[in-house]
Structure 1
Amino acid sequence: MHRTQIYFEETLFEELKKQANLMGMSLSAYIRETLKNDLKNKKSKQNRVNLKEFSGMWENRDISQESLRKKAWK
């Protein structure tokens, strides 16, 4: 494990200690777990496809079942 030193504002530090106590964890274990979860969430969001890019791509096109069948059977 790597050791590092981090400076926290007093109010944030108190809130972190409170949350760690509520979860029955040491402060350092709580911070590690919180950071792991945050990184995991960010990683899963990066892997998602942004479907907004495709919004409107079929606009003004005839994609009815009938027209698709006509094109398919040519």
Structure 2
Amino acid sequence: MHRTQIYFEESLFEALKQEAKAMGISVSAYIREVLRQDLERRKKEPKKRDFSEFRGMWADRDISEQKLREKAWKRFSATPMS
């Protein structure tokens, strides 16, 4: 196990002590458990993707639903049927 030192505001530390006492465990055990649960929850969450590099990519194009439908139908009607 690794030992570390953490500084808490007084009110937060009091809340930690109360929660740990209510659960019948030490403050350290409570902190480890809360962190373990948070890390497990984060593993299950889908990764957030950063699409900011694509911002403005379509700024000069008409991508309205109507325009997209028109383009789709043009391609569909231009395809020869067998």
In the TM superposition, what is the alpha-carbon distance from 1:46 to its structure 2 partner? 2.8
| Deviating 4+ runs (over 2 angstroms) | none
| Runs (5+) with no aligned partner, structure 1 | 48-59, 61-73
CA RMSD of aligned residues (A): 2.3
Structure number with greater CO (CA < 8 Å, separation at least 6) is: 1
Counterpart position of 2:42: 42
Q: Percent identity?
A: 59
Q: How many residues align?
A: 52
Q: What's the TM-score, normalizing by structure 2?
A: 0.56
CA distance in 2, matches of 1:42, 1:11: 26
In the TM superposition, what is the alpha-carbon distance from 1:40 to its structure 2 partner? 0.4
Bigger Rg over Cα: 2
| 1:19 is the counterpart of 2:19 | yes
Q: What's the TM-score, normalizing by structure 1?
A: 0.62
Alignment of 1:54-65 (within 5 A): none
CA distance in 2, matches of 1:46, 1:7: 31
